[in-house]
Every structure is written in structure tokens, then in C-alpha cells.
Amino acid sequence: MGARGHRRGLRDPPGPESTRRSQEQRPRPGGGRRHRGRPHRGEPRRGRDSGRVPVLDARRDARCRRPDAAHRGAGDPRPPGPVTGAPQGPRRRLDEDRRRAQIITAAVEEVAASGYEGATLTRVAARAGVSKGLLWHYFTGKDDLMAATAESTLRRITDAVAAGLDLAAPVPDVIRAALRRAADLSATTELIALDRIVHNLRGPDGAPRLTLDAYEEVYAGQETLFRRGQAEGSLRGFDTRVMAVTYQGAVDMMIAYLTAHPEADRHAYADALAEILLSGIARA
């Protein structure tokens, strides 16, 4: 056909070498050309590492694995460890209670040292060693912190007075001992802070925020003591609630007076108050 026909594509049949090259350049089922140094998916790897299968190092894997019950041998005496991500409810609750108590303790110290107005949240946070933002996490503001501090301090003082008493003794002796212990607490940091909070913490209407409701638990304990005295015959019959309110009022005034007059004889004051109260309720 001549040179013209050859230019139109009527060439000689391809030889074996050109056929092999065209097959190598043909697209693979997985897409794209095959890289000469990389085996295609499903093909065996060639070279020095051909035929090797990656092996998991069981000893190294055991060292990195958490020693919980699912991977521990039967002879391992260690108790199963906690599962990562599991809720730590009781422990977290305990940590929160401790942090809250830490802030309240700092508030007591700051009120006693700087006064009610001087005890700012910034100073309380600094004394507690926490950030002011963390303090706001536990309390909505200064009023909330002061109210919680007063209630917690009142419980601690009541428990401190009761802790040193022989509650199995006759009730008149218990009353005398309790008044002496209360008098000894008059100069403590807790009572100074409590007195300042009670007289300065106000509600939105300007009325005292801490009312007699805060004493309800104290009144209930005193009523129980008075009823025991009536049952054993050491106290005469009377309204235990009226006497509980009267008794606690007398204790509060004693503490306030002794705090303002540190030179006064605390035990002499407590003994005189005990005789006045018992003269009205003790059975002759």
C-alpha cells in the first residue's frame, strides 16, 4: 500500500516485546498503573521480606495491657483495677465534700480575721488555696457561702460541746458540764466568725437571713435531754420546747458576753447560769 498507507495506521503486526509492554501498561482492576516496586492487592510481596508475616509480640503486648481481670492469669493475686472511663461517683462526691469543707474553713478564718465586710470571695479563695472560679462552682455568691459557713459552724460547735460530755450522767450534771464547755468555746475562731455572720447576713428584705430555723436540730437534741431528765426524775415536768429555746438563748448571750469581755471568769459565769436554770426545772 506504500508509505501513505503506513502513515494512516496500517502498520505491521506488533511483536512480542511491544505486546508485553502494552500489557504492563494496561489499567489494573483496582485502578491505576501498577508500581513496579509495590505489589498489587492480592499479589505476593517480592524481595527480601517476601513471604514474611507480621507477628504480634505477645510479651510486649502483655506489658502494655492493663492488668484487669479479663487479661490476668488465674494465679495473679492483684485485685482488678478500675475500668478507664467508669464513673467514680462516691470518690468524686467525697472530693467535692472535702473541697467544700476546705472553703468553709477558710471563710471562718477570714471572717474572724478580717470581719464580715472584709471577708471577700477573693480573700477567701486565696486563703483556701483555690481559684475564685472554683469557689463560684460550689457557692452562688458571698451570701450563700456565709449561710453555709454559719450552718456548718453551728453543727461543729454543737458536736464539740456534746463530744466531751458524759451523757449517761444525771441530766443536771450534764447541763452544768455543757455550759462550762460552751463558755470555753467563747474565744474560739469558730464562735467569733459565727457571731459576725449571724449579725451581718441579711436577706433581700433586710431581715436577718439566719432565723431560729437554723437551731431546729439543736432544739431537738436539748428536748431529748430534758425529757430524759423528766423520765429519770431529776427534772420536774415542763414544756421541753420552751425550755430548749430559753436554754439556747441563755447560752448564746453567755457566749456573746464572754467574747466581748475576755477578762471575765468563764467558768464562774457558766456555773452561775447553770444554777439559775436548774433552780427553775430541777426537782427538789
CATH number at residue 211: 1.10.357.10
Does 158 have pLDDT greater than 60? yes
- The pLDDT, as a whole number, for residue 229 is 96
Q: How far apart are CA 266 and CA 258, in angstroms?
A: 7
Q: How far apart are CA 263 and CA 261, in angstroms?
A: 5
The pLDDT of 48-65, averaged and rounded, is 48
Residue listed under C-alpha cell 425529757: 227
Question: Is residue 223 assigned to a domain?
Answer: yes
The pLDDT of 236-256, averaged and rounded, is 93
Does 240 have pLDDT greater than 70? yes
Q: How far apart are CA 249 and CA 161, in angstroms?
A: 16
| 3 state DSSP class of 45 | coil
| 3 state DSSP class of 263 | coil
Lowest mean pLDDT among 51-65, 170-184, 253-267: 51-65
- The pLDDT, as a whole number, for residue 97 is 86
Does 68 have pLDDT greater than 80? no
Question: Is residue 248 assigned to a domain?
Answer: yes
Domain boundaries, position 171: 143-281
Question: Is residue 167 assigned to a domain?
Answer: yes
| Cell output for 160 | 464539740
Question: Is residue 101 assigned to a domain?
Answer: no
Question: Is residue 34 assigned to a domain?
Answer: no
CA distances (Å), origin 104, targets 22, 99, 204: 85, 9, 23
Question: Is residue 175 assigned to a domain?
Answer: yes
What is the count of structural domains for the chain?
A: 1
Q: What percent of the chain has pLDDT over 90?
A: 43
Confidence of residue 7 (pLDDT cuts 50, 70, 90): very low
As separate numbers, helices (DSSP H) first and strands (DSSP E) second, the chain gives 12, 0
Question: Is residue 133 assigned to a domain?
Answer: no
| 3 state DSSP class of 235 | strand
The pLDDT of 233-241, averaged and rounded, is 96
- The pLDDT, as a whole number, for residue 157 is 85
Confidence of residue 10 (pLDDT cuts 50, 70, 90): very low
**Which comes out higher in pLDDT, residue 7 or 131?**
131
Question: Is residue 33 assigned to a domain?
Answer: no
**pTM > 0.85:** no
